[in-house]
Structure 1
Amino acid sequence: MNSKYDIIIVGAGAAGFFTAINIVEKNPKLKVAILERGKEVLTKVRISGGGRCNVTHACFVPNDLVKFYPRGEKELRGPFHQFCSGDTIEWFEKHGVELKIEDDGRMFPISDSSQTIIDCFTNATKKLGIDVLTNQSVQSIFKAEDYWKVETNSETFACQKLVMTTGSNPKIWEMLTEIGHSVIEAVPSLFTFNIKDNRIKDLMGLSAFASVKVKNTKLESSGPLLITHWGMSGPGILRLSAWGARILADKNYQFILEVNWLNDLTFEETLEKLKELKLEHSKKAVSKKSPFDFPNRLWESLVLASEISEEIKWADLSKNQLHNLANQLTNGQFQVNGKSTFKEEFVTAGGIDLKEINFKTMESKLLENLFFAGEIVNIDAITGGFNFQNAWTGGFIIAEAITSK
């Protein structure tokens, strides 16, 4: 059986639906189909943001927004000038979905349910007559003279223009390399660090604002650091893992993490502060109460690690102990052995080489009428709605490019 369409979109995720809807809204005459290998559509949308769907981020200046993308910062500048977070809010509003901003800038539907976004998309595709075909696993893609042929496990499709929105799917990447594209190998991007260390052994659940650095590299970050059962997590760590995705993969996730629990205080400044505390609190036990802005239990643990026993008073601290403590506070060395995936926010760095895409249209520079949107390309962001924003922007630009030709 041979099914003909003007446009076929492979991948029924966020980018796929958004592209399809925008194309047909701009030109209702076009016959569009979305092919999905699984039984379900929009599965990542359903689980994103803990089932609430983190639609975008309240960062409205393109040149600021690009800074959240470890890969894609330079390339997304132009696209974000065409369709940015403000346009996303307006688009969803026009389609009956109101978004709200949370304190950290993340944006969700006011219903707090990803089902709202799923309904918005599925209702729009029904209304616009877009065919959403599930259980269609693509086996091959072939470029004929003036059309594309897509073979699935059950049918053969033909189309004028082909849009790939399959996320990080190695099988599809392989097919694309066979027809001439280069793929940057995928490595995990958002992950937490596995650390076994007595200093944090019984402190799971504690959080402190810290700056972190991977020893002997330029990789550094700061933000809330969360101690977990398996090591360290939190925004500061996740950001470090995103920017260091390639470097940390090359290290096989074995490296030394340097932690400054006082964030921006240096060793020297901390030592001075400790000397003042020694005079001020001379009769008090050092380990009893944290003089800094982080949890007492963490302070107690770092005091013990500095070879200062529980009952020692401030007045009795030796020069050596003061040095040890300043060092633990500003330059704690933690051995990282491996990583763990961060919740369901599994993101990879990798995908179609950005040099092979025209970012004015999201069209392949190598093969005419082949377009890409979403995580299939080598673009990824930290957590907070940024990966979805990349999907919406790519889909919008493709729709513009296809319907204005």
Structure 2
Amino acid sequence: MKVAVIGGGAAGFFAAISCKTHHPNAEVFIFEKSSKTLAKVKVSGGGRCNVTNVCEPQSDFLKHYPRGQKQLKKTFNYFNRQDTLDWYESRGVQLKAEADGRMFPITDDSQTIIDCLRQEVDRLGVKVWMKKGIATLVHKADLFELTFDSGESQTYDHLIIATGGNSKSAGYEWLRQIGHEIVAPVPSLFTFNIPEAAKLKALMGLAVPHAVIKIQGTKMMQEGPVLVTHWGLSGPAVLKLSAWGARQLHEFNYNFKTQVNWAGAINEEKLREGVAQAVESQAKKKIINAKPIDIPNRLWEYLLDRMGLDAHTIWADVKKKDKNRLINVLLNDEYTVVGKTTFKEEFVTCGGVDLSEVDFNTMESRKVPGLFFAGEVLDIDGITGGFNFQAAWSTGFVAGKLGQ
């Protein structure tokens, strides 16, 4: 039996390893069109590789997938987060959990994961070919004929497609030609560009541990840490918002207004109490030196400037209308977003092979027997934090069983 795995990323490698493990007599080949395998693994997590997430129970884990959580519930029955930990640790790779739930190798080096996967592929005898792009795919007489960019053709009994996400719909055309519907791809996991706010961007590197961010005119809202960058706003809350709102923000052409509640969990009533307390107990203090809530000093100074309030005014002299303006900017700071920026080097797409056309108990196509899918080529994506890699490990493992 000959099996071709198209795509030399996390899902492709894991699918090939699973296939050779479950079918020792099979000839298994990985074909990668570029000159590098596992490139995304290398750069992920700032070069440390965010393997998975410690989040438990599984019902909570699944809530981190804007698309695919219902389907992945089936796949996780066969290979889940704990199985990932056991798999790597049984091969000498120890993982650690950080405070936010992300899990990394204890070496803090993605090369540890790459070496583990490559060593396993070598040990099992999986053949890896690079610079092997696929020109055409034909399914006939229960066989798959692949024609490579070089013009050479070969046939295989089974095919696992793990080519990852593609930013262009045309990149999926070869899958349409064998009968699969493709959900149009759009970016997910991106940061918000705010060209107008030069003074905000001067705060680059500043983090607010708990803020709430909304998209004006919609019900979209997320909370969590927000990070100010040299292009605008990022951090977990923004990235989650971009993932859950991927399609709608694409329809807006990434031009919309966003509101930031810098006070986070503090509601308007509590904030007014905080301001009143500052006026009463710190009346003679300058407002720059007496914040009503716990936010970074640089942010407080920026917001005072944004409202045109003299930072050296004492609380006793702050007028009622200025107190109201202050409360409003803390709760509803508004910015115009014009465009997006990819989060670090981690490109994630929303879109791909229509999930209704895949059996998630086996990862086999419902339209083409013997064809399996794994990873981001499917219309599945998770938020940042190791969830996309977990989907890759799980779907790859199950696809490699070839329906067994």
State the TM-score bracket (shorter-chain normalisation): over 0.9
Q: 1:401 to 1:63 in 2, by over 3 A?
A: farther
Give the corresponding residue for 2:192.
Answer: 193
Q: Does 1:207 align with 2:207?
A: yes
User: 1:37 pairs with 25, 33, 38, which one?
Assistant: 33
For 1:124 and 1:276, how far apart are their aligned partners in 2?
63
C-alpha separation between the residues in 1 aligned to 2:33 and 2:371? Answer: 19
TM-superposed deviation, 1:268? 3.5
Match of 2:44 among 45, 48, 63: 48
Report the 3-state secondary structure (helix = DSSP H, G, I; strand = E; otherwise coil) of the residue aligned with 1:150.
strand
CA distance in 2, matches of 1:30, 1:108: 32
Looking at structure 2, the residues matched to 316 and 198 of structure 1 have their Cα atoms a distance apart, in angstroms, of 29
TM-superposed deviation, 1:134: 1.4
SS of the residue 2:356 aligns to: helix
Judge which range, 371-380 or 189-198, deviates more.
Answer: 189-198
CA drift at 1:114: 1.7
Which amino acid letter does the alignment assign opposite residue 192 of structure 1? Answer: T
Find the counterpart in structure 2 of residue 291 from structure 1: 292
Which of residues 38, 63, 71 is equivalent to 1:75? 71
State whether structure 2 residue 177 is matched by structure 1 residue 181. Answer: no
SS, match of residue 151 in structure 1:
strand
Query: Counterpart of 2:157 in 1: which secondary structure?
Result: strand
What SS does the aligned partner of 2:334 have?
Answer: strand
Contact conserved, 2:188 with 2:246, CA < 8 A, in 1?
Answer: yes
Could you say which residue in structure 1 is the equivalent of 2:90?
A: 94
Shift of 1:198: 5.5
Q: Aligned partners of 2:57 and 2:76: how far apart in 1?
A: 8
One-letter amino acid of the counterpart of residue 106, structure 2: I
Q: How does 1:164-175 map to 2 (within 5 A)?
A: 164-169=161-166, 170=168, 172-175=171-174
Would the alpha carbon gap of residues 325 and 60 (structure 1) be closer, same or farther in structure 2, given more than 3 Å must change? closer
1:106 to 102, 105, 123: 102
* Paired letter, 1:141: L
1:29, 1:97 → 2: CA distance? 27
User: Which range is displaced more, 11-20 or 171-180?
Assistant: 171-180
Output the amino acid matched with 2:156. C
The answer to whether the 8 Å contact 1:307/1:321 transfers is: no
> Quick one: distance in 1 between partners of 2:216 and 2:138?
47
Alpha-carbon deviation of 1:265? 2.2
1:360 corresponds in structure 2 to: 361
Superposed CA RMSD in Å reads 1.5
Mapping for residues 5-404 of structure 1, pairs under 5 Å: 6-154=2-150, 155-169=152-166, 170=168, 172-195=171-194, 196-197=196-197, 200-208=200-208, 209-402=210-403, 404=404
How far residue 172 of structure 1 moved from its aligned partner, in angstroms, is 4.7
Aligned length: 399
Secondary structure of the residue aligned to 1:185 is strand
- Alpha-carbon distance in 2 for matches of 1:172, 1:214: 31
Check whether the contact 2:19–2:402 (CA below 8 A) recurs between aligned residues. no
Distance 1:199 1:332, change over 3 A: farther
The Cα of 1:266 is off from its aligned counterpart by: 2.5
CA shift, 1:308, in A, is 2.2
In structure 2, C-alpha distance between the alignment counterparts of 1:247 and 1:296, rounded to whole Å: 35
What amino acid maps onto 2:51 in structure 1? V
What is the alpha-carbon distance in structure 1 between the residues aligned to residue 303 and residue 340 of structure 2?
24
Report if the CA contact (8 A) 1:203-1:298 is conserved: yes
Q: CA deviation at 1:146?
A: 1.5
Structure 2 Cα separation of the partners of residues 266 and 52 of structure 1: 38
- CA–CA separation in structure 1 for the residues paired with 2:91 and 2:203: 46
Quote how far apart the aligned CAs of 1:399 are: 2.4
After superposition, the C-alpha distances for 1:219-244 in whole angstroms (9 at most, x for unaligned) are 11111111111111111111111111
SS of the aligned residue for 2:222 comes to strand
Question: Identity over aligned residues, as a percent?
Answer: 45
Preserved contact between residue 62 and residue 81 of structure 1 (Cα < 8 Å): no
Distance 2:292 2:140 in 1: 71
Q: CA shift at 1:272, angstroms?
A: 3.0
**Paired amino acid for 1:400:** K
Taking structure 1 as the reference length, the TM-score comes to 0.95
SS in 2 for 1:242: helix
Quick one: distance in 1 between partners of 2:219 and 2:343? 23
Contact kept in structure 2, 1:166 and 1:172, CA below 8 Å = no
- Check 1:269–1:59 CA distance in 2 against 1; reply closer, same or farther (3 A cut): closer
2:372/2:402 contact within 8 Å kept: no
| Aligned counterparts of 2:115 and 2:303: Cα–Cα separation in 1 | 51
Shift of 1:143: 0.6
Asked if structure 2 preserves the Cα contact closer than 8 Å seen for 1:199 and 1:302, the reply is: no
Query: Which string of whole-angstrom CA distances, capped at 9 and with x for unpartnered residues, describes residues 297-346 of structure 1?
Result: 21122223334212321111221111101101111111111111111111
C-alpha offsets along residues 355-403 of structure 1, whole Å, 9 cap, x if unaligned? 111111111111111110000001111111111100110011112344x
Rounded to whole Å, the distance in 2 between the matches of 1:147 and 1:63 is 39
